[in-house]
Amino acid sequence: MSRRGFTLLETVLTLGLLFVGMLVTFALFERGTRAFAVGGSQSDLAGDARRSLLALVPDIRLADADMLSVDDSRTCADQAGRSVHRDAFCMGTLSRWDLPDNFNRVQASIYWDTYSVVYANRAPKGVLVRQNYRPPGSPYAGPWDGFPGSCLAEDFHLNAQVTSTRVLSQAVEQFEALYDENLRMLQLDLQLVDRGGKKVGGRARDQRSHARVRMKLENTAPD
């Protein structure tokens, strides 16, 4: 009994359909991979914004409102020409919270021995940095006279007499600090940007992530 094989036309059509199917499969795979990468990048950016602010929360909550200084007038133009905030604030803190000698138990007060300055410079790709200072006169009882004049260099490496530096973020588009004196509440808004981090229709689009925290300064002496 003879068996009929595939004709040349049938073979060509089969291979053509197989090739088209493979192209569609690869296109869907590439699109899915790109979407996953974009989603991962956006998630990383959002995580960076939250971590940057959460790193400040413990010391801000333990700060004294009478030692807080806020400079909310710092602005610059972003790459689109819009005016954005690059604010700064300074608070008193302790180098060691675990040392009994740093506390006056009789008067229920704290011997503040460090000033901590947090600010975003005004470079196109902003850097949010925290730097600590220990000027003469410790323990401190009021705002630092050196803020903001001597500690907000655009290149934070140029700030003098810094005892420690921590870079919180290197992708700052906007950093805004708002203080309510009546409520003793400090609000920080941070917006990060990933330039060209998203591809739409073959073109690069910026990705942004925003984080906000509101904290009451809880170690203020009673009025």
8 vs 50: which has the higher pLDDT: 50
CB within 8 A of 176, min separation 6: which ones? 72, 85, 87, 188, 189, 190
Mean of per-residue pLDDT scores for the chain: 85
Instruction: Find tokens 């040349």 and name the residue.
Output: 8
Q: What is the pLDDT of residue 14?
A: 78
Q: What is the pLDDT of residue 45?
A: 82
Asked if residue 139 has a cis previous peptide bond (ω within 30° of 0), the answer is yes
Written as one letter, the residue type at 75 is: T
Least confident range of 22-31, 70-79, 134-143: 22-31
The 10s digit of each residue's pLDDT in 41-99 is: 567 788 889 999 999 999 999 999 999 999 999 999 987 788 999 999 999 999 998 99
Contact assessment for residue 111 and residue 92, using Cβ atoms and an 8 Å cutoff? no
Whether the per-residue pLDDT at 37 is higher than 50: the answer is: no
Helix (H, G, I), strand (E, B) or coil at 50: helix
Whether the per-residue pLDDT at 1 is higher than 60: the answer is: no
For the entire predicted model, the pTM comes to 0.78
Confidence of residue 6 (pLDDT cuts 50, 70, 90): low
The three-point CA angle 42-44-48 to 5° equals 115
Chain centroid offset of residue 152 CA:
18
Written as one letter, the residue type at 41 is: S
Distance in angstroms between the alpha carbons of the first and the last residue of the chain? 108
